[in-house]
A and B are shown apart, each in its own frame.
Chain A
């Protein structure tokens, strides 16, 4: 089954404790991206990657890191999480021909930083 898999679904952590949210897709998509969703603010792009070893900042990259060492994986790293990073996070991917393909989303990760 074609899918984007995010783990974990729920995560509660404390300020300053490094964490990684994993994202993997099995559709051979070149494009992958991370978003955060906050009430009243829609989805805001954190980072995106057009291909392996190519990453770019989105609209809200501060406090986040990403890497794209393999086509299928695009982990999101929070080196020192803070309470303002409490949010719902989505990973998404799309097929080559960036413009005309929709995003395929993971099921989301609910992160709480205390």
Chain B
């Protein structure tokens, strides 16, 4: 069974600065995907970014990028130029053969 660990329950960052959210995972599978989801106070779950395990190139979506270290089983999310609307809970997720496993989440607060 796979596990996903987010070691930072809460983080804060000043508006316009950069913040990195950590995620590590453990699996014996070779074929999988990794995702970051955002859950704002509205409680909707919104996809932020995805990474294919067989690709070495780190995924980027506008201000969001990942640092994927497959050997270390690490998948951190970097948010550049943080905005007030980035305030949310962020979940790291592993998706393998059928099952999806989520971390416990990191609550990010962007301060003006």
Residue ranges of A at the interface with B (Cβ–Cβ < 8 Å): 31, 33, 35, 40-45, 48, 50, 56, 58-59, 88, 90, 92, 98-100, 102-103, 105, 107-108
Instruction: Give the contacting residue for A42; candidates B47, B95, B99, B103; CB below 8 A.
Output: B103
> Which of B33, B43, B102 has a CB less than 8 Å from the CB of A108?
B43
Using CB atoms and an 8 Å cutoff, list the residues of chain B in contact with chain A: 4, 6, 9, 31-33, 35, 37, 43-45, 47, 50, 52, 91, 93, 95-105
A-B interface contact total, Cβ < 8 Å: 59
**Bound CA span A100–B54, Å:** 11
Q: Are A99 and B45 in contact (CB under 8 A)?
A: no
Determine whether the beta carbon of B98 is less than 8 Å from that of A50.
yes
Bound Cα distance A50, B6 (Å): 28
Task: Give CA–CA (A44, B91) in the complex, Å.
Answer: 12
Neighbouring A residues of B31 by C-beta, 8 Å: 99
- Chain B residues contacting A58 (CB-CB under 8 Å) are 99
